[in-house]
Amino acid sequence: MNKISELTIFFPFWNEGKNIERVVEKAIPVAEKVADRWEIIMVDDGSSDDTAQIAKKLEARNDNLKLISHRPNRGYGAALREGFDNAKYKYIVFNDGDGQFDFSEVTKFLDKIDHADIVIGHRKRRRDNPFRHILMNLLKIWDLILFGFYYKDIDCGFKLFRKEAIDKIRPLKSEGAMITTEILAKAKKAHLKIVQVEVNHYPRIYGDQTGGNLRVILRAVKESLLLWKELNF
């Protein structure tokens, strides 16, 4: 692939003190390789561990790194919105901060972006709790019925955008996990071109997953119904 002119990378973190340094430091050489100008935004969503403290140390060591913190914890959607709102470059990629993706695979996304508005990942093999696989399949059915779209892996935490594509689907409102559905539903309504690419997914080494708990699920249902109302009335 040819080197692009500029790229914003952001990671949402929540209680990822054992992952954040490894994730960010692995991303830096990739950013240097693929873009002339780049930034990495670390979004700390109200962590109760030492995530923010470690992020501050990383920020102090590199002018291309920026920390944004929420207090208190607001949710995955709020963290993504913060990343989009603070991105300054032409292309924007986000990647979950739990270390389950290989960020060097961003080249697969960049190879496709010349012919797309949004490039979304789909995991070759999910390496997480089987219950989350069930939720993913239910989400695909739910989104097909409510919003009329189907993708292989709706909530894959690895996506690349043209900045103008984000501008066309703003404002984003979801505070929780339904942010990915909101992005795709609004992109469909705006007639944006979405391309899918396969990525590898790795087991979580440190920390706990939260996407399958009841509070997150109920919040997602509520947000999806509000989104359906917004798009249809």
- Domains and their CATH numbers in the chain: 4-232 (3.90.550.10)
Rounded CA separation 228/233 (Å): 8
Query: What 8-state DSSP symbol labels residue 159?
Result: E
From residue 110, give the alpha-carbon distance in Å to each of 10, 58, 142.
15, 26, 30
Q: What is the pLDDT of residues 89-142, one digit of tens each?
A: 999 999 999 999 999 999 999 999 999 999 999 999 887 777 777 888 888 898
The pLDDT value recorded for residue 67 is 98
Alpha helix locations (H) across 19-105? 20-34, 51-61, 76-86
The predicted model scores a pTM of 0.93
Lowest mean pLDDT among 13-17, 79-83, 212-216: 212-216
For residue 187, pLDDT over 60 is answered with yes
β-partners of residue 160 are 93, 119
Tens-digit pLDDT profile for residues 81-99? 999 999 999 999 999 999 9
Q: How far apart are CA 137 and CA 54, in angstroms?
A: 36
* Choice between 224 and 208, residue whose per-residue pLDDT is larger: 224
Encode pLDDT of 37-70 as tens digits: 999 999 999 999 999 999 999 999 999 999 999 8
